[in-house]
Structure 1
Amino acid sequence: MSRLANRSFWAGKRVFLTGHTGFKGSWAQLWLKQMGADVTGYALPPLTEPSLHALLGAADGHLGDIRNADALSAAVQKSNPEIILHMAAQPLVRESYRTPAETFDVNVMGTLRLLEAARNVPALKAIVVITTDKVYRNDESGRHFPEDATLGGHDPYSGSKAACELVVSTWRDAFLRERGIRVATARGGNVLGGGDFSSDRLVPDIVRAAQSGKALDIRSPMATRPWQHVLDCLNGYFVYAEALYGGETSVDALNFGPSPAERQIPVRDVATSVQAAMGLAPQWRDVSSTDQPREMQTLGLDPALAAKTLSWASRLSQDEAIAWTANWYDGWRKGGDARALTLDQIDAFMKG
């Protein structure tokens, strides 16, 4: 069984969480607070309507841009965190084609600003910078990339995150290690979970199609991804932070994704499974022939090092991740309280 985030470890810990208004950040903030952590959030206002941040009633934290060095530094210094979890980013591939310079500015320079702000924090012991499964130079071979695979990126989002990895490596070697601050990058798989309302993402597109009565358009029905529930991904980040804080590991980067032994599930099968679980007619429209930016067709991660280093593995299979996600949205669509739905899944995950 996979190692779980340690509630007693997080109780009372001061955590600076960037991106707390986003999808993963909202789950992370709620879970950390449930474990007793003292969380200071820093992010832009939610970019979607609805947003999970608002649905959870999470009104606290700082609203600001991670590229604003003065405001970011002031917030970091005031909170004097023991741990920093950096999730703020421009996270969308298709958006990165529309705004490539801004994507690099947010994902690279934003990270640099945070690491600069962290250099002189007295209590700081560990930083986990969240990048992505797309940091690897993807040759479309279908292999599952280990951490030492070549970094790169065809699209601006992937390239910006690969560049972010280099920034983290440089600041770790030049400044942070000598101050006793352990900093590492976490490369998570394609995350599923309730409360994601972003544009150009599969499950939110399914929900929007159901609400509008319009057909679901799928750009790459046969593309495969390392599907993973948000709680499995976050559990990996939390356990990694614990290990860095306590000096259990000096590994600089880890993959968090489903086992390569699991079947490769194409986008179309995820879509029909989610639709069926929500009581919708499993149907969609293939729009892959339309003019659109290039996206990789195959992507896989090898999480063996996380298993060896942290005793971490996905607790939910990909099929279970799909089912949990569909159940959350189905409950919410039928009038369920988003906070209660989210807390119920956190509790179920923790109980195993």
Structure 2
Amino acid sequence: MEELVMMFGNVYANRRILVTGHTGFKGSWLVLWLQMLGAKVAGISLPPETSPNHCDLLGLDVESFHIDIRDEDLVRRKIVELKPEMVFHLAAQPLVRRSYRQPLETWATNVMGTANVLDACRQVEKLAAIVVVTTDKCYENKEWVWGYREIDPLGGHDPYSASKAGSELVASSYRRSFFNTPSSPLLASARAGNVIGGGDWSEDRLIPDLVRSVEAGKSLEIRSPNATRPWQHVLECLSGYLMLGQQLLEGNKPCADAWNFGPDREGNRQVKQVLAALKADWPTVEWHCCDTPQPHEAQLLHLDSGKAREKLFWRPVWTFDEGVAATAEWYRAWLDRGDVISLNQLQNYIKLARERGLSWAGDVLP
């Protein structure tokens, strides 16, 4: 893996990087990539909620601390002790339907948890950069046919969406109030679309629910087959986070702002279209529609990532079909053979990024 270290301008090599939420789906993929880049990674998170889970399957050698980010004192003490040079804050309550069942937990984790992490960061000397990861659902959804831009109003109907808008406001407030001197770390936020990929076993998510139904030999009940979302593979948004982190570590102050990382227009698909694409790669997939009344969820959501494309020169590597195929391949390898092919998929993704001329992928060293 040594030949891959020169990605992202080599800014992550030997740096102390803290990832909150490192035991989660996105967080575990991010740790895998950061370690490939030669970073010294530590993680703060709750223990994984599911068995199996991607974090344990990867078996990563990382300093891991099981801390609830709602615990202000423990969070502060551990972050100050770790002395990170950069923080990727991913820890959250990430599920819409759970937020209806547990609204106070959702608000406390997503808003006050973010505040606790950022306040602890104020005490860390030589901290250079912070990326707070939120979601496309932080926008006040008006069911527009065009994509939401970073300048559009924040909001949310359900506790999850609204609390993520709240975490964006926390990040903006800390950036303007506390991280506003020449010696302060640069703070940005990142908003991605509906993320798919291997290793996710979360509740009430389309792909994990489908995997469980395939494993049980059952048809999956679908709540909103016509709902449209910006679907993207997990590696796509992570490449955006890492590109953004690179700019912050290099001292690019205008990048200390909010950023969308979503798919191209062809990635905006209805749920039933995602399922049809999965079935093309995975014939045993079966589903049916549900007529039972459900809690409110937006039916139409698009992201406009023009800012990231223009100013960061970021763009997706895989097409929608390629991302879906990689997702199906991961789960089939796991279910059929017990294989965890995450590293192989990451390497293939990077190779294709180089072939397609993406700047962050760099060149293979001799």
Q: Is the TM-score greater than 0.5? A: yes
Match of 2:112 in 1: 109
Q: Does 1:191 align with 2:195?
A: yes
Which among 211, 214, 217 is matched to residue 210 of structure 1? 214
**Residue 324 of structure 1 aligns with which residue?**
326
Preserved CA contact (<8 Å) 1:192 1:229 = yes
2:280 alignment counterpart = 276
Q: Counterparts in 2 of 1:45-194, with a 5 A limit? A: 45-58=47-60, 60=62, 61-178=64-181, 179-194=183-198
Aligned to 1:227, what secondary structure does the other structure show?
A: strand
Whole-angstrom CA distance in 2 between matches of 1:11 and 1:241: 13
- Report the counterpart of residue 345 of structure 1 in structure 2: 345
* Amino acid corresponding to residue 175 of structure 1 in structure 2: F
TM-score, with normalisation over the residues of structure 1?
Answer: 0.95
What CA distance in whole angstroms lies between the structure 2 residues aligned with 1:58 and 1:275?
31
Quote the offset at 1:248 in angstroms. 2.6
**Which runs of structure 2 are paired with 1:217-236 in the superposition (5 Å)?**
217-236=221-240
2:46 aligned partner, one-letter code: L
- CA–CA separation in structure 2 for the residues paired with 1:246 and 1:17: 19
Among 225, 237, 242, the alignment partner of 2:241 is 237
The correspondence of residues 231-270 of structure 1 with structure 2, limited to 5 A, is: 231-251=235-255, 252-260=257-265, 262=266, 264-270=268-274
Q: Deviations over 1:172-205 (max 9, x none)?
A: 1111122421101100111010000001111111
TM-score with structure 2 setting the length = 0.91
Mapped to 1, the partners of 2:40 and 2:61 lie a distance apart of 15
**1:333 and 2:335 equivalent?**
yes
Alignment match, 1:13: 15
Query: Retained in 1: the 8 A contact 2:232–2:267?
Result: no
5+ residue gaps, structure 2, are: 1-5, 353-366
1:28 to 30, 45, 48: 30
Task: Compute the displacement of 1:57 (Å).
Answer: 1.3
**Distance 1:5-1:256 versus aligned 2 partners, 3 A rule:** farther
Q: Does structure 1 retain, via aligned residues, the 8 Å contact 2:221–2:289?
A: yes
Question: Can you list the C-alpha shifts for 1:85-143, whole angstroms capped at 9, x where unaligned?
Answer: 00000000000011111100000000000011000211101100000000111111222
Letter of the structure 2 residue corresponding to residue 215 of structure 1: S
Deviation digits for residues 51-70 of structure 1, max 9, x if unmatched? 11111113641111011112
Mapped to 2, the partners of 1:291 and 1:70 lie a distance apart of 42
Alpha-carbon separation, structure 2, partners of 1:5 and 1:95: 37
| CA distances 1:304-345 after superposition (whole Å, capped 9, x unpaired) | 00011110011111111111111111111111421xx00001
In 2, Cα distance between equivalents of 1:120 and 1:54: 31
Instruction: Write the distance in 1 (CA, Å) between the matches of 2:72 and 2:322.
Output: 41
SS of the counterpart of 2:157? coil
**SS in structure 1 of the partner of residue 293 of structure 2:** coil
Distance 1:174 1:228, change over 3 A: same
Alignment gaps of 5+ in structure 1: none
Alpha carbons 1:136, 1:149 under 8 Å: kept? yes
Question: Contact between 2:130 and 2:186, CA under 8 Å: does it hold in 1?
Answer: yes
CA offsets per residue over residues 280-321 of structure 1, 9 Å max, x none?
15x31111x212101111100000000111100111111111
3-state SS of the aligned residue for 2:283?
Answer: coil
Secondary structure, in 3 states, of the residue corresponding to 1:50? coil
Q: Is 1:228–1:257's contact at 8 Å kept on the other side of the alignment? A: yes
2:87 and 2:262 map into 1 onto residues whose CA distance is 22
SS for the counterpart of 1:225 is strand
Q: Give the share of equivalent positions with the same residue, in percent.
A: 47
Give the aligned partner of residue 296 of structure 2. 294
Distance in 2, matches of 1:272 and 1:40, equals 39
Q: Contact 1:223–1:298 (CA<8 Å) still a contact in 2?
A: yes
